[in-house]
Amino acid sequence: MIWDVEETTPVDVLPLDDERVFLKIKNAGVFLKINEMFGSIIDDYEQEVISWNQCAETALMLEREYGSIQDGDVCEFCRALAGQCMLAARRKLALFFVL
């Protein structure tokens, strides 16, 4: 299974533990926008992978669409996710969404 990660494998995690914040991000259309870009199914029931060569485009979209949104939780998450995307693109690593 591709979702299994060895305990010794280094990973960067962007936690999203607060259900209220998750719903704000979901309702703002963040995951839907990524899904539309790449034909993925990121939601609270599915796990998804964005390949490293899609990460830079994802980061640019997040900054453009959500970087200055009024909701601080959504803006903060999108900026952090954009940063993770750029790091993944530079390292040529995929981005895993496990919500």
Q: What is the pTM of this model?
A: 0.86
pLDDT tens-digit series, residues 30-80: 999 999 999 999 887 778 889 999 999 999 999 999 888 888 899 999 999
> Per-residue confidence at 82, pLDDT binned at 50, 70, 90?
very high
With b for 16 or more beta-carbon neighbours within 10 A and e for fewer, the 34-66 pattern comes to bbeeeebebeeeeebbbebebbeebbebbbeeb
Do 56 and 50 contact (CB within 8 A), yes or no? no
pLDDT recorded at residue 53: 94
pLDDT recorded at residue 43: 82
- Residue 25 structure tokens: 């991000």
Q: 48 forms bridges with which residues in the sheet? A: 97
Domain range annotation of the chain = 19-98
Across 67-96, average pLDDT? 91
Determine whether 76 is exposed, middle or buried from the number of CB atoms within 10 Å of its CB (0-12, 13-18, 19+): middle
Task: Pick 96 or 34 by higher pLDDT.
Answer: 34
CA distance 14 to 2: 19
pLDDT recorded at residue 83: 95
Across 1-7, average pLDDT? 59
